[in-house]
């Protein structure tokens, strides 16, 4: 039982034809594990996140992605979500005219195959909003429309809480957050992790979020592949040395 990425190759279409971005990624996230992927800008970290979720811009040219034995390659975005995969986006999109409450209930219904009971659901939504320090009136606002950067990221973790997927891919959830919002968001992720049987793939540039969310494994990502792996101490050494040694070796 794991989220297993096997020799994943991904390309994106450009004016000059397909451009390879991921060049053979191998990684397995078991239930209860937190894996951090760290790397410089342009290394392909976000491409990995969107490819796992099924974004049509990215073409998986070879390789396999298994979620508890289910092959995700070839499945639609919603089928991957139903299988148990969740993506918190670096840049959450606006959905004008669709309230947060309606969005959440529709998503929950689609994943579970049945609508949640209204009375208990409203209570759950209010509790999830409160845990992320969002007022319950927030539920009536259109998804991400006019939200601050911090509100967008908190809203992503509200979704994580309520949908409670098997595996969560968090793509630079810490970007654009001040220190208070970072703590609130990290607390939300940690509540999800504390269930003990959920897996997290945390993608970030910086070590600051890793002060609040402790990874079991750290992977250094350069030019579309994992070039170094270790425990949480690897993140500490990256704080000192940066990525230069791997970037230079790749040139």
Helix segments in 84-146, DSSP class H: 100-112, 118-131
Q: Which two tokens stand for residue 163?
A: 């949908």
Tens of pLDDT, residue by residue over 150-181, are 899 999 999 999 999 999 999 999 988 889 99
Q: Which residues 6+ apart lie within 8 Å of 212 measured at CB?
A: 182, 183, 186, 187, 190
Half-sphere CA count of 204, side-chain side, radius 13 A = 27
Average pLDDT, the chain: 92
What is the number of other CB atoms lying within 10 angstroms of the CB of residue 104? Answer: 24
Distance, in Å, from the CA atom of 72 to the CA atom of 53, rounded to the nearest integer, reads 9
* Inter-axis angle of helices 179-193 and 149-163, nearest 10: 10
Give pairs for 225-230: CB < 8 Å, separation 24+: 225/22, 225/23, 225/24, 225/25, 225/44, 226/25, 226/26, 226/27, 226/37
pTM, entire model: 0.92
Residues β-bridged to residue 23: 9
45 contacts: CB under 8 Å, gap ≥ 6? 37, 39, 171, 172, 203, 221
Name the residue among 9, 39, 40 with its Cα closest to residue 23.
9
pLDDT digits (tens, 9 = 90+) for 20-69: 999 999 999 999 999 999 998 889 999 999 999 999 999 999 999 999 99
* CA-closest candidate to residue 104, choices 122, 131, 119: 122
pLDDT in tens, 116-146: 998 899 999 999 999 999 998 899 998 988 8
Question: For residue 240, what are its two tokens?
Answer: 């000192």
Q: How far apart are CA 23 and CA 36, in angstroms?
A: 19
Cβ atoms of residues 159 and 104 within 8 Å: yes
227: pLDDT confidence band, cut at 50, 70 and 90? very high
């Amino acid at each position: 039982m794991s989220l297993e990425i096997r020799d994943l190759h991904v390309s994106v279409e450009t004016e000059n034809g397909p451009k390879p971005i991921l060049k053979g990624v191998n990684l397995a996230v078991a239930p209860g594990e937190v894996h951090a992927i760290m790397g410089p800008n342009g290394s392909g970290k976000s491409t990995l996140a969107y490819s796992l979720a099924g974004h049509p811009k990215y073409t998986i040219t070879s390789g396999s992605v298994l979620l508890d034995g289910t092959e995700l390659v070839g499945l639609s975005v919603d089928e991957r979500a139903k299988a148990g995969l969740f993506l918190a986006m670096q840049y959450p999109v606006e959905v004008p005219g669709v309230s947060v409450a309606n969005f959440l209930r529709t998503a929950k219904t689609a994943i579970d195959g049945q609508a949640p009971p209204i009375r208990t659901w409203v209570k759950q939504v209010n509790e999830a909003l409160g845990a992320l320090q969002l007022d319950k009136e927030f539920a009536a606002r259109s998804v991400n429309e006019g939200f601050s950067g911090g509100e967008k990221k908190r809203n992503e973790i509200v979704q994580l809480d309520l949908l409670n997927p098997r595996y969560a891919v968090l793509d630079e959830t810490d970007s654009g957050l001040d220190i208070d919002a970072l703590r609130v968001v990290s607390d939300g992720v940690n509540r999800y992790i504390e269930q003990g049987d959920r897996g997290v793939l945390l993608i970030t540039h910086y070590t600051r979020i890793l002060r609040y969310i402790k990874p079991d494994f750290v992977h250094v990502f350069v030019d579309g592949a994992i070039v170094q792996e270790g425990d949480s101490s690897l993140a500490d050494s990256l704080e000192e040395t940066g990525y230069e040694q791997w970037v230079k070796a790749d040139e």
